Amino acid sequence: MKEPEVIEGAEEFAFGDGPTGALLVHGYTGSPQGMRGLGEYLAERGIAVVGPRLPGHGTTWQDLDTKTRDEWRRTVTEGYEQLAAGRDEIFIVALSFGAALSLDFIAHNPGKVKGLVTLAGMVDTNDPRRHFAPVIKRLTRSVAGVANDIADPEGHEIAYDRLPTRSTHEMLKVLTEVKEVLPQVDCSLLVMHGRNDHTVKPYNAEMIIEKVSSSDKELVWCENSFHVITLDKDRDEVFRRTHEFIKERSTHAV
């Protein structure tokens, strides 16, 4: 079966070189486009970056609906291995559901990641529909999407306007599983979250901070942004703080 075409602008990316690497993981129904600007910013400052495209993303929602959590996890692992080859230290920067995948990877691979930055990180949802996900996926293939939760009118995210129900059930399973392993996360951690995030409620940021075992951890609220803080009004601060976090914890001058 022919693979669907990738939407222009949603392609995966790799920028820069050097001994320090940063893996940039996008969110559910989004694409690498949401992380590209941050990746360019870090690469300009001497950090090698890789932004993989999670299976089923940046194509069609119907394509996403055929994918599983194991495929998404495998992509994070492969992205890490690509970046780690020949490099001394790796950081991860993850947006939304990408944070759940990244926390899961770190929990199961202790010592491999020097630090993690979560951006509107998702580890839980209080959407009442979560309880009926196994039934909903049998009744309909998709429901209304949640893309472009951005306060800046000039901000635009390449993301689906429909939420595929089978893969959403897979996504919810990851959230259930990652909450169990959060105490196994023990790397340096910076959590940034939009105070007015409508998609991933702000309590997620507090949950991450409270549940991980990291001693070096900080929570920063983005007061002027909604969900996609890499494309929103606080993006300059998000970029700057992400770079400072990596620079301050790197053994190399970056």
Which are the catalytic amino acids?
96, 197, 227
Beta strands in the chain (DSSP E): 13-15, 20-25, 48-51, 89-95, 115-119, 142-144, 162-164, 188-194, 217-222
Strands of 89-95's sheet, edge to edge? 13-15, 48-51, 20-25, 89-95, 115-119, 188-194, 217-222
- Decide: 202 and 229 in contact? Cβ < 8 Å: no
Task: State how far Cα 4 lies from the chain centre.
Answer: 23
What is the spatial distance between Cα 61 and Cα 58, in angstroms, rounded to a whole number? 9
**Rounded to whole angstroms, how far apart are CA atoms 185 and 112?**
11
Determine whether 1 is exposed, middle or buried from the number of CB atoms within 10 Å of its CB (0-12, 13-18, 19+). Answer: exposed
**How big is the chain, counted in residues?**
254
Phi-psi bin for 9: left (phi > 0), alpha (psi -120 to 50), beta?
Answer: left
